[in-house]
Amino acid sequence: MHLARHQVPALLLFSLVSNLLLLASTVYMLQIYDRVLSSGSIDTLFWLTLAVVGAIAVYGMLEHARRMMLGHISQWLDDQLSVPVIERAMDARLAGSSLEAGLKDVADLRGFIAGDGILTFLDAPWTPVFLAFMWLLHPALGVVGLAGAVLLFCAALANDFLTRRKSQEAAAGLRRSQTAVGQFIDGAETLRSLGMSEPALRRWEENQQSLMDIQTRLLRRTTVIGSLSRSLRLALQVAVLGLGAYLVLRRELTPGSMIAASILLSRALAPIERSIGAWRGLVSARTARRNLTKLFADTRSMQTVGVTLPRPQGRLKLENLHYCAPGTSQALVNAISFGVEPGQTCGVIGQSGSGKTTLCRLIVGALRPSLGHVRLDGAEVCNWPSDELGMHLGYLPQQVELFPGTIGENIARLRDVDSDAVIAAAQLAGIHDMILRLPNGYRTEVGPHGARISRGQRQRIALARALFGDPQLIVLDEPNTGLDGEGEVALFNVLQQLKERGRTVILVSHQTNLLRTADHVVFLHDGSVSMFGTRDEVLGALGGPPRRIPVPAALREKLVANAATKLNAAE
């Protein structure tokens, strides 16, 4: 923002000079009526005209300079804010914040600065200059001009008072409505298949109609106030002309001064009148600035500066780890402590809602612990710069997301594609041949609106992405979701190869047959570690009498039969 602040003095100076130059036409009219017409001097007319034309030329250059400066400031703001806003919004989303700031706020701020609205508010402070000049012509004219300016200013304040709160509510509602439209389009398959499109669109239309009703009422109020303001301005001009004519008849004013006073009143009141129409843009820009300020203030603590750390060996340690849902005291993860040595595989099991996915997000640094520590080779994961940590980390989330781009770009984590590294990751994941069978191979477009590929294919592509760059720590959250028999065999081969390479693996699964490579197993219940030990100890306890930590009786009854069956099948 320093560049924008540094331009403010120049903008104010240009605004002052350009508004003073607007007096040139007034002085010209005054001299024409009071000197040229009475003296009949052609030379005076010529030089007066030449001087006014020069003043108008300078005025035009200053106006161009002002608009260019504002255009550069708006472009600079867009360049400086867009990427940081996306980063802060991502941080806020991961932290569970309900902040509404986004690129729409940057666009509103940029549009206001680059538009005519801000020029109106830059010109408004110089209204007293025109009123003072009217006062110099005659105090009575100055009183009329001042009264008109006060009335129009009160109309602008009334417009702000009557529309500010509703405008902010409507803007927030429209932002949510636009987000809903994007979700409906992305979820078109579900909506169509389940017959939900009609009720979903009907609900959206009802909400949109209520927002349009609010905006219509706001527009009506602004239009009424604007119409009254224009009528008042015209009436004031008539009043000034009438008063001026009266003063001319009383020989207290010259005809030129009467015409000049009318022009001055128009110049003085124009910014105030225009501000009523520009008020909506000001409200939007003010709301955008408040949202962005709050976004940067609330996410400032998330931004950490770290030093470049060496490649980790993969030693993972969790110390008294707690995590509460944002805005609540409900603990999703409670007092978890265990460690995994480099090259070991640790399985994580438990019922749905036991905290497995939350634990994975904490391990990879997507969430910040409410209390406790997640350490990778002794370094706090959440304080490790994310771009550097990502080079040493592989993560397959439960909900797979592929981003706009090609398969190769997605596997390469949207970086410049290193063909050898991409193919190596695909071969390790066992999908190289599958990708080659696609029409465009590694150049096949994926993402929300790319080529239609199956859920299992997406899962395996995301697995290859997690393996890209041969990371030292790999976290797999339900990696067999949507996989067929061939995919599960390929996944098990991946787990074996990772173990042979000495990689540390955190594996979340409901199926115990995937745990054949696990050295240790963590059993979670209600966000806490109910059992931690070797694979045979934990699975044996679930299938028979508890050997290590007593399993709650009700939970044990639900798991014994299923766990024993799967364990026997795995053997």
Number of H helices, E strands in the chain: 21, 12
Supply the pLDDT for residue 545.
Answer: 35
Supply the pLDDT for residue 567.
Answer: 40
If one compares 87 and 151, the residue with the highest pLDDT of the two is: 151
Q: Where along the chain do its domains lie?
A: 82-298, 316-543
pLDDT for 543 beyond 80: no
DSSP 426-485: HHHHT-HHHHHTSTTGGG-EESTTS----HHHHHHHHHHHHHTT--SEEEEESTTTT--H
Supply the pLDDT for residue 410.
Answer: 87
pLDDT for 83 beyond 70: yes
Q: Is the pTM of this model over 0.75?
A: no
pLDDT for 569 beyond 50: no
Mean pLDDT, range 284-300, rounded to an integer: 74
pLDDT for 564 beyond 60: no
DSSP 201-234: HHHHHHHHHHHHHHHHHHHHHHHHHHHHHHHHHH
Strands 445-446 and 473-477: unpaired
Question: Residue 332: helix, strand or coil by DSSP?
Answer: strand
- What CATH number is given for 82-298 in this structure? 1.20.1560.10
Range with the lowest mean pLDDT among 192-201, 465-474, 481-490?
192-201
pLDDT for 554 beyond 50: no
Range with the lowest mean pLDDT among 277-286, 521-530, 560-569?
560-569
Supply the pLDDT for residue 223.
Answer: 81
pLDDT category, 402, cuts 50, 70, 90?
Answer: confident
Supply the pLDDT for residue 94.
Answer: 66
If one compares 165 and 193, the residue with the highest pLDDT of the two is: 165
The 3 state secondary structure assigned to 45-112 is HHHHHHHHHHHHHHHHHHHHHHHHHHHHHHHHHHHHHHHHHHHHHHHHHHCCCCCCCCHHHHHHHHHH
If one compares 436 and 294, the residue with the highest pLDDT of the two is: 436
pLDDT for 546 beyond 60: no
Supply the pLDDT for residue 193.
Answer: 64
Query: What are the structure tokens assigned to 448, written together?
Result: 């929300």
User: Of 272, 270, 281, 276, which Cα lies nearest the Cα of 159?
Assistant: 276
pLDDT for 553 beyond 60: no
Mean pLDDT, range 22-35, rounded to an integer: 80
User: Of 533, 496, 537, which Cα lies nearest the Cα of 516?
Assistant: 496
The percent helix, strand, coil of the chain (3-state, each to 5) is: 65, 10, 20
Superfamily per CATH, domain 316-543: P-loop containing nucleotide triphosphate hydrolases (3.40.50.300)
pLDDT for 61 beyond 50: yes
Q: What is the mean pLDDT of the chain?
A: 80
Mean pLDDT, range 165-175, rounded to an integer: 76
If 0-12 CB within 10 Å is exposed, 13-18 middle and 19+ buried, where does residue 271 land? buried
Mean pLDDT, range 136-154, rounded to an integer: 87
Supply the pLDDT for residue 423.
Answer: 92
The answer to whether 507 and 499 are in contact (CB under 8 A) is no
Length of the chain: 571
If one compares 422 and 330, the residue with the highest pLDDT of the two is: 422
User: Of 459, 507, 505, 446, which Cα lies nearest the Cα of 486?
Assistant: 459
Residues 6+ apart with CB under 8 A from 302: 88, 91, 95, 368
Torsion of CA 472, 476, 482, 487, to 10 degrees: 40
CB-CB neighbours of 411 under 10 Å: 30
Sheet holding 331-340, edge to edge: 331-340, 316-324, 371-376, 379-380
Residue indicated by tokens 């010209």: 28
- Distance between CA atoms of 22 and 39, rounded to whole angstroms? 25
pLDDT category, 424, cuts 50, 70, 90?
Answer: very high
The answer to whether 511 and 480 are in contact (CB under 8 A) is yes
